[in-house]
Structure 1
Amino acid sequence: MNQAFHSSNAFPLRPSACPGLLRIVPALDGGICRVKLQRGELSATQALAIADAIDEHASGIVDLTNRANLQLRGVKRGHENALIAALLGAALGPRDAAHAHADDVRNVMTSPAAGCDAHALYDTTALAAELLSLLQSDARCAALSPKFALLLDGGERLMMLDHPHDIWCSALHPRDHAEPMFALGLAGCPPVLEGHPAALAAVPASELVALTRALLHTFLDLAAPDHTRMRDLLAKQSVESVLARAERESGVRLLRGQSIQSWRREPADASRRFGAWQQRDAHRDKQRWHIGGQPALGRVNSATLRRLALLTKEQGATLRMTPWQSVLLTDIGTANLDATLQTLDALGLATTTDNPLTRVIACAGSTGCVKSLADTKADAVKLAARLPDNTRVHLSGCPRSCAAAQCAPFTMLAAQNGRYDLYHTHDPRESTGFGRLLARGLTIDEAADLLNASAAPPFDEPFDA
């Protein structure tokens, strides 16, 4: 179960357990192929190409990931090369498919509403393209782990701020500086609450790419062979030594001081991934909206993907994946709002927070993963039917926690088929482990009883913590 398939010997890949477009990793339900999307974006043509490819070469199932990518499941043995060829033909691979490692390192997260969020401080679209170009074209970046990731935050209200990244950059308010600036941090997230690790420095937007290149080179120069993430390096090297070396290599002068240390990022609002929200548009008479919907447990089939592609084409919209395992259609005209929402509802995508399945995440479970001890997908549906309001739960089939990039308020860790250990964390800053153990070996009904009994202070967690 550890062999990976790729299209030919012309695409040599580093050993890794992470699936990619060119590295199809076997699982219990067939091969897994991960398609990394630029800014989470998928054209109608590409969506149709994926739907056709997974019907012919896989199980017809797509999982939306918590990094706004796509995971194609159930790839049939002997069909790996044909699937890869179809995806490359739809321009879903690295910019230059001759350099296979470029697929691994295309890890830049932005807001799914980048370029159209009415509350953004900076349009990150062009900067994101430059960072992706750097990762794909700089030969040294081929040595980075497929998990090494960058966050580029333009200050949007719809923004995932909870995922720890190796390098993160967050737009500062323009009135505070003569030129656009980004706060900078390593191995973490932008600080929202007091007590979060503060930003380390600030850098002009015009020099962000140069500094990022220097930080990547610094990491590669200093990291030991077993250091795959920035946090591994910072356990051995001081933050200041890393920043100083990157400053010297890049020639970029970083801004430091109390104003940067005390800066806090405005809270985001994850509920904006549902329903219709006005975009920032140049002409009020041509007002556009972004509309979001979430499939149950982040999974869609080929028929749904085709219908989304058709809807995108009909509306002249853009289809984007989100890190909440949902979809966002941007640039929808006012006259088409109701019809678009009705179509998403008809496809089974939740467009409001009323649906309890929007507050549950689950890994592939025992039907798809040999390491899972329970059918987490089926159990999540049962749990959702009894889930109290404003309670978010992560069901994980094993301790690897593949479905969640950060610690959820409640985690149910499978102990055996149909039974889970229940954990809770009071602290939204906690990013490792599952929190405090509340009970062991619970059935779904027993877990639901305990969650309902605990759905009051101090256990209550706000939906957008």
Structure 2
Amino acid sequence: MRPSACPGLWRIVQALDGGICRIKLAGGALTADQAEAVAAAAERYASGEIEVTNRGNLQIRGIGCDHSGLIELLLAAGLGPREAAGDDVRNLMLSPTAGIDPQMLLDTRPLAQQVLQSLETTPRFHQLSAKFAVQLDGGEALAMLEHPHDLWLSPLKLDDELWLAFGLAGCPAKDAPLGAVPLSQGHELVLAVLNRFLDLARPEQTRMRQLLAEYAPQAITAGLGLPIRADAAVCQWRRSLTAASYLGIYPQLQTGLSAVGAAAPLGRLNPSMLRGAARLAREQGDGTLRMTPWQSLLLPAIAQRHAERVSESLAQLGLLVSASEQLSRLVACTGSAGCAKGQAETKGDARLLATLLAPGAPASVHLSGCPRSCAMAHVAHATLLAQSPGHYDLYLRDATEPGFGRLRARNLTLKEAGALLDAGSRSTLDD
């Protein structure tokens, strides 16, 4: 396998709390049987810690010495390819409501299946970095549109026909498209862009943003052999954004059905939580679960008359089902308990901070143990960057400032940070 610090199903990376195995799910989806296999693997071969990642995947932490046993159990459940080289590059993010969202313009799952098949089985694409990522947006209301991707695609209508707008090293929420191709050419576009990247990139240029520092975007997209449209109707188009909650009950496109969402507290599940969610999916839904980039899960195809009861059952498992729960607004990395770079025990600090915040606190507060920001791929409304155990610098999101945003205060205790966040929520923190 290519050397990488990123965990995968086949590559178990060592951390302070043991090995980490990342299970890259196809579009964030897995069956109830597969969820139970993950729970069993976490119990049998690791400490029982299961994380939902910010790209809708799962990872098992605290893995002991029997790596092959864990890998074989997961492969037997169909959770990854039998060829190790094809696992790293399966970085394709969809909306967790792909195919069921009332506002979607297209069901992205058939195209996603084509793209994943090509990524897994094309030897040349195995040269891509384990971080190189593609987003396929279908126009859903429930979609993470702020995470940057090396290539993103999003649907728009031109002359009553559906096209796919696309951009490089960015995201649909913020960036203008470089062009658009007919929907039928979406698969060819992805393959052409990936091949062009590999043609042009030097070994040290592993991400599209690095290549764009040397080449203009048009140099990458020119001559792809596709009918790319790049007129004003495309380049001035912007993805419409709708605030939709990933918690609670989300009505589906399909009459009489809803998806029910619940968050893993601080991104962590235990085997009982995952087994309980799998049981509900099997008994009340279609037998599948969908992981989300908000470190949560959805159970689709729940009859609307049963949705409230399913939500209550998820809450009884220890999952968060309402945005009014303070812990649902907090994101924290592994911290010093599991990562050598962490300057504070961010998970425990987040739980304490949740007790200090008054109702109406910011929509998202991110506790990061170091500047790498592993727990969050986009910038939160407020970021607490650890400086030492129990002490953080506070940043507020500001589009004019790089990184975490505008520095608001240094070396705060959690109590001081909570007071500032409360004060900010009553003034301009969420502007």
With normalisation by structure 1, the TM-score equals 0.90
- In structure 1, C-alpha distance between the alignment counterparts of 2:276 and 2:421, rounded to whole Å: 37
Deviation, 1:178, is 4.1
Kindly indicate whether the alpha-carbon contact (under 8 Å) linking 1:361 and 1:394 is maintained by their aligned counterparts in 2.
yes
The residue that corresponds to 2:165 in the other structure is 183
Kindly indicate whether the alpha-carbon contact (under 8 Å) linking 2:85 and 2:126 is maintained by their aligned counterparts in 1.
yes
In the alignment, does 2:58 pair up with 1:80?
Answer: no
Deviation, 1:161, is 0.3
- In structure 1, C-alpha distance between the alignment counterparts of 2:398 and 2:5, rounded to whole Å: 32
Deviation, 1:141, is 0.4
5+ residue gaps, structure 1, are 1-12
In the alignment, does 2:370 pair up with 1:398?
Answer: yes
The residue that corresponds to 1:298 in the other structure is 267
Kindly indicate whether the alpha-carbon contact (under 8 Å) linking 1:161 and 1:268 is maintained by their aligned counterparts in 2.
no
Deviation, 1:390, is 4.6
Q: List structure 1 runs of 4+ shifted beyond 6 angstroms.
A: none
Q: Deviations over 1:45-73 (max 9, x none)?
A: 11111111111100111010000000100
The residue that corresponds to 2:257 in the other structure is 288
Q: Deviations over 1:396-432 (max 9, x none)?
A: 11111110101112111110111111111232x86x5
The residue that corresponds to 2:86 in the other structure is 102
The residue that corresponds to 1:455 in the other structure is 425
- In structure 2, C-alpha distance between the alignment counterparts of 1:244 and 1:270, rounded to whole Å: 37
The residue that corresponds to 1:445 in the other structure is 415
Kindly indicate whether the alpha-carbon contact (under 8 Å) linking 2:361 and 2:421 is maintained by their aligned counterparts in 1.
no
State the Cα RMSD in Å.
1.3
- In structure 2, C-alpha distance between the alignment counterparts of 1:239 and 1:390, rounded to whole Å: 40
What one-letter code is carried by the residue in structure 1 that aligns with 2:199? D
Kindly indicate whether the alpha-carbon contact (under 8 Å) linking 1:426 and 1:459 is maintained by their aligned counterparts in 2.
no
Write out aligned runs for 1:413-428 (5 A).
Answer: 413-427=385-399
- In structure 1, C-alpha distance between the alignment counterparts of 2:162 and 2:176, rounded to whole Å: 19
SS at match of 2:44: helix
SS at match of 1:180: strand
What one-letter code is carried by the residue in structure 2 that aligns with 1:278? P
Q: Deviations over 1:418-458 (max 9, x none)?
A: 1111111232x86x511121111111001111112222343
The residue that corresponds to 2:129 in the other structure is 145
Kindly indicate whether the alpha-carbon contact (under 8 Å) linking 1:159 and 1:269 is maintained by their aligned counterparts in 2.
no
- In structure 1, C-alpha distance between the alignment counterparts of 2:205 and 2:381, rounded to whole Å: 29
SS at match of 1:172: strand
5+ residue gaps, structure 2, are none
The residue that corresponds to 2:317 in the other structure is 347
Kindly indicate whether the alpha-carbon contact (under 8 Å) linking 2:266 and 2:331 is maintained by their aligned counterparts in 1.
yes
With normalisation by structure 2, the TM-score equals 0.97
Kindly indicate whether the alpha-carbon contact (under 8 Å) linking 1:160 and 1:268 is maintained by their aligned counterparts in 2.
no
The residue that corresponds to 2:195 in the other structure is 217
Write out aligned runs for 1:269-288 (5 A).
Answer: 269-271=243-245, 273-281=246-254, 284=255, 287-288=256-257
What one-letter code is carried by the residue in structure 2 that aligns with 1:445? K
Number of matched residues?
428
What one-letter code is carried by the residue in structure 2 that aligns with 1:269? A
Deviation, 1:270, is 4.1
- In structure 2, C-alpha distance between the alignment counterparts of 1:448 and 1:207, rounded to whole Å: 50
- In structure 1, C-alpha distance between the alignment counterparts of 2:328 and 2:159, rounded to whole Å: 39
The residue that corresponds to 1:333 in the other structure is 303
Deviation, 1:210, is 0.7
Kindly indicate whether the alpha-carbon contact (under 8 Å) linking 1:357 and 1:384 is maintained by their aligned counterparts in 2.
yes
